[in-house]
Amino acid sequence: MPTTDNETPDVSELTPPSRTLMGPGPSNTNPRVLRAMSTPLVGHLDPSFVEIMNDVQELLRYTFRTDNEWTIPVSGTGSAAMEAAIGNLVEPGDTMLVPTNGYFGDRMASMARRAGGTVVEVDAPWGEPLETPTVEDALETHDPDVFGFVHAETSTGVLQPNVPELTAVAHEHDALVIADTVTSLGGVELRVDEWDIDVAYAGPQKCLSCPPGASPLTLSDEAMEKVLSREQAPRSWYLDLSLLEGYWGDERAYHHTAPITNVYALREALRLVAEEGIESRWDRHERIAGALKAGVEGMGLEMNAPEEYWLPSLNAVQVPDGIDDSEVCETLLERYDLEIAGGLGDLSGEIFRIGCMGHSARAENVIFVVTALDDVLE
């Protein structure tokens, strides 16, 4: 019912349910991050905030394993960082090579088209990674300016295992490489500089266990050179990195009002990464997700991805015959306050997607998921 000007809406106090978040994201937030979010607001140009911005940039470089000067949180969700990467790197007339092996390759394609680019595809079925020779053939055939791939495909639970090979062949063909690291940053081995990735973007709500709102992005000098020498400005004013340089670069001049509280949150989430140590954190995800995998396999269920490209942060488990995945997810939510998800696109109805990310990647959660799933599937 639409309300009229005369009616006062009768809305009760906010009391969201307390869920265990073991789906494709968001993951549960560490209480330290929530506490950081309740600290006082300062202005987005306050000298104390400028210090906080420096801290976040330094912590992001550590987490991405990069020395890239151009490392910032983009205001918005992972898709904003994604669009900042693609919308700035792809100029009208450019060609971008994108993968077909999951949901987020399609999103890359839509963004590249909107940026005025021509999209060409490198094929692999949903649920499989890209093979180096197939990518090499596509680079040979289409001569793209930009090659995008998804390091950790949240829709399929597949880890792209051969990243250094992919960047090497792309660079041999003079293509810049954009990596979607939304579901890998802070949870799965990722080495931006060593692997020669030109641009990587991520989301804070997955393995960093931070509420969405400020999303990591890093660009090499070479990628930034291309951005700064564009003939036409990018179509988005908000995500134009040459303008954002004024705020996140040396000048620290107003561009837009940064989501201050989200930047606080990201700072604390990244401090937790640094305290744990990035490599120990990758190991923890592998160990805890390994226990989850052993648990579901012990129940007689099968993982969808083979061991070589199993993605610890997102475990794709085959739905047994005769089981309705959405009913299982609903029952888990109602009975256990536990969130997992079903499949998307080509894998709709075929897989459960069980996340093991950041603060949610803990032994007690594994025992809980396995026990609850076993109960609901009985």
Where do contacts with ligand PLP occur on this chain (CB under 6 A)? 24-25, 77-79, 82, 104, 150, 154, 180, 182-183, 203, 212
Q: Which one, 106 or 121, has the nearer CB to ligand PLP?
A: 106
Q: How far is the CB of 365 from ligand PLP (least distance, A)?
A: 19
Q: 331: burial class by Cβ within 10 Å (0-12, 13-18, 19+)?
A: middle
Q: Which one, 295 or 355, has the nearer CB to ligand PLP?
A: 355
Q: Which one, 86 or 376, has the nearer CB to ligand PLP?
A: 86
Specify whether the CB–CB gap between 207 and 357 falls below 8 A: yes
Distance CA 140, CA 343 (A): 33
Distances (CA, A) of 241 to 80, 195, 238: 12, 23, 9
Q: Which one, 176 or 341, has the nearer CB to ligand PLP?
A: 341
Token pair belonging to 49: 């905030």
Q: How far is the CB of 153 from ligand PLP (least distance, A)?
A: 6
Rounded to 5 degrees, what angle do the CA atoms 223, 225, 226 make? Answer: 65
Return the closest-CA partner of residue 261 out of 105, 59, 62, 42. 42
Q: Which one, 120 or 344, has the nearer CB to ligand PLP?
A: 344
Token pair belonging to 304: 């969808």
Q: Which one, 77 or 95, has the nearer CB to ligand PLP?
A: 77
Q: How far is the CB of 5 from ligand PLP (least distance, A)?
A: 35
Contacts 24+ apart (CB under 8 A), 293-298: 295/366, 295/367, 295/369, 295/370, 296/354, 296/370, 296/373, 298/370
Distance CA 293, CA 47 (A): 47
Q: 101: burial class by Cβ within 10 Å (0-12, 13-18, 19+)?
A: buried
Q: How far is the CB of 91 from ligand PLP (least distance, A)?
A: 22
| Closest CB to ligand PLP: residue number | 78
Q: How far is the CB of 114 from ligand PLP (least distance, A)?
A: 15
Q: Which one, 181 or 220, has the nearer CB to ligand PLP?
A: 181
Q: How far is the CB of 344 from ligand PLP (least distance, A)?
A: 10
Q: How far is the CB of 182 from ligand PLP (least distance, A)?
A: 4
Specify whether the CB–CB gap between 177 and 96 falls below 8 A: no
